[in-house]
Amino acid sequence: VILILTKYYHTDMGKVLESSLWRSSDFGTLYTKLNLQPGIATVIDNFYICPTNKKKIILVSSSHNDRDQSLFISTDEGATFQKQPITFFVETLLFHPKEEDKVLAYTKEGKVKCEHTLL
């Protein structure tokens, strides 16, 4: 599986205004644009692939008004995603080196959030 994240970054505003996530399951011959929330514009800021289980993918998304942020979690190489609302703004995520259902999040406020079981 190949995933490609495209972003439209507005320099003057200093943020991503649009993004698209594309998925190919045939070695890049055909790509499908993923729609995480039909009818709702979802901006994907970044995505992370678990180093110990390549089928597990976490997308970090934010709303257009920057008020809400969510994680979208896949356990099937991005074929499906489950939304996980969060109460903080993620700068970076790190998977636990041995327990794939735990991550460590560094927030945009400069704080480290404790490991959190996702699934």
d(CA 37, CA 42): 7
Instruction: Say how far apart CA 66 and CA 105 lie, in whole Å.
Output: 18
Kind plus residue range of the DSSP H or E element containing 63: none
Residues 6+ apart with CB under 8 A from 14: none
Contact in structure between 100 and 89 (CB atoms under 8 Å): no
Between CA 23 and CA 29 the distance in angstroms is 10
* pLDDT string in tens for the chain (119-residue length): 999 999 988 888 777 888 999 999 999 999 999 988 887 778 898 999 999 999 999 999 986 666 678 999 999 999 999 999 888 888 889 998 888 888 888 887 766 665 555 55
